[in-house]
Structure 1
């Protein structure tokens, strides 16, 4: 059975790496076609969904906050003020730096830690293990997948292998 550390840090790091690669492709796409990159940053799949910037911000927030909830460490706070692809890429890099600084020890006992969530009307209580598998990972990958869909819909050449990322 994988540890909570193994289910979080490497998985979140991988997914954030995928997002960083998407941002590189978005930048290249905009440059090659003479598009304003701000159009990609603000692109949405539907009017009531967050734009690309919001998807990247929520993936970052999910990664940081989840590790904090599971370990008791303080997560860095980033304002949701990114308006360029470069700023979004920097946010991903800062999130990766935070995750890279968290070792295995803070996760000791995390599988049994009680995690309480309250978002507006949503309330849930999980063990650490259930939180990771039933909330954190689905939520994180919802935002990664939605970022993929937005970019694909905007004509950026991203595909399944980009989503899956490196296999090493």
Structure 2
């Protein structure tokens, strides 16, 4: 039996958002333990032209919601990019998960052949739903999730591969 668009997307996105929540929990505990202002972590970035940790969380959220918006007729909630604290970031993640959990397998049936147009500055890309999931959504989602992890590691948060893979308690 072939995997469905639902099986390839929603469970992976929900799991990744859960991993991100755990990373934020560890980061906040680290900041409290070391006496580091949590703002230093929330607004940290790897390079001056990259998004902050908050921006990475926002893109993970937006990418997961965008999949549903582009491949179904379900209305997607809009969240302004205003999070400034760990609590606000966790709330955004929780709202994203709650939204994804409303999506049913039937909602994504036949979405593999749906046309998706992505408009970037100086670039317009047309993909099938399957291409959109495999060539944009999953790579983009994991890029921003990994970058959030990398920012926290760079700031000294004691994270390891098992945390990213969610293999720890």
Instruction: List alignment gaps of at least 5 residues for structure 1.
Output: none
Aligned residues: 167
The aligned residue for residue 2 of structure 1 is: 3
Q: What TM-score, normalized by structure 2, do the two folds share?
A: 0.96
Q: Secondary structure at the match of 2:3?
A: coil
1:73 CA displacement? 1.1
Q: Secondary structure at the match of 1:43?
A: coil
Distance 1:66 1:34 in 2: 39
Distance 2:59 2:87 in 1: 17
Q: What TM-score, normalized by structure 1, do the two folds share?
A: 0.97
The aligned residue for residue 27 of structure 1 is: 28
Q: Secondary structure at the match of 2:48?
A: coil
Q: Deviations over 1:140-159 (max 9, x none)?
A: 00000000000000000111
Instruction: List alignment gaps of at least 5 residues for structure 2.
Output: none
Distance 1:44 1:149 in 2: 9
1:53 CA displacement? 0.2
Q: Secondary structure at the match of 2:74?
A: coil
1:72 CA displacement? 2.1
> Are the counterparts in 2 of residues 117 and 123 from structure 1 also a CA contact under 8 Å?
yes
Distance 2:132 2:58 in 1: 20
> Are the counterparts in 2 of residues 8 and 67 from structure 1 also a CA contact under 8 Å?
no
Change (3 A) 1:7 1:72: same
Q: Deviations over 1:74-112 (max 9, x none)?
A: 110000000001100110000000001111111011011
Q: Over aligned residue pairs, what C-alpha RMSD do you find?
A: 1.0
